[in-house]
Amino acid sequence: MEEGFLFKAFSEQASADWTLALSNQLSPLDFSNIEEQLMRNERDGIPCYPAVNDIFRAFKLTPLNEVKCVILGQDPYHQPNQAMGLSFSVPTGIKIPPSLRNILKELESDILIKAPKHGDLTNWSREGVLLLNTIMTVSENSPLSHQKLGWERFVEKILTVLSSQNPFVVFVLWGKSAQVFSRCVDESKHLLIVGVHPSPLSAHRGFLGSKPFSKINKALLVHGESTIDWRLEP
């Protein structure tokens, strides 16, 4: 890893409209503390997730001008082979984590889509759902280990640009860490859905039964936007 590798990774991985919109707002200095942590982990032999070439995957799969909805979580999964650069998503073939299992359970209950046997949410990204975490990297076995390194400021810039530039977006903030970012959303233009985190520790306190998927599509229709196809299997 060389100095400035995260700024370079964002520039290479994100779609052209994201890099253009943030060209005057991002610099290598924004990532300096995060890079120090990642390089320290590398020296100490501690894995970090996701891999560098997956950290900004969401910005490649969901260009700025195609974002219809943001689903904001906390930080990536901290076990091997799980995190893939999309909040809550795991690659096909990996056991579905409990939080995602609750999301898929609510999907089935809300809009009667049969829960898939895998947890890869890439199709949602391609439908215009920006799957983002408030913290975008993590050390193995250490949830929240990369908080307050700079990711929160980066995500704030992302959401502020999105709120400013796009005509209508549904912002879904699940959990207390995500809810802090409500300040980035212009509620005179956009819909803000603030909810309980889908973790088994909290899902029964308001996530299950909240019907977020139908609410998102109804709001998109009201604002003249096409709805999201939430299916994850043919």
Catalytic residue from among 54, 75, 110, 120:
75
Instruction: Give residues with Cβ within 8 angstroms of 193, minimum separation 6.
Output: 170, 171, 172, 173, 212, 215, 216
- In this structure, what token pair is assigned to residue 142? 């250490």
Contacts of 105 (CB under 8 A, 6+ apart): 115, 208
Q: Is the peptide bond before 234 cis (omega within 30 degrees of 0)?
A: no
What CA–CA distance (Å, rounded) separates 68 from 96?
Answer: 25
Q: CA nearest 133: which of 193, 203, 55? A: 55
Do residues 89 and 131 touch, judged by C-beta distance below 8 A? yes
Q: Is 75 a catalytic residue?
A: yes
Please give the positions annotated as active site: 75
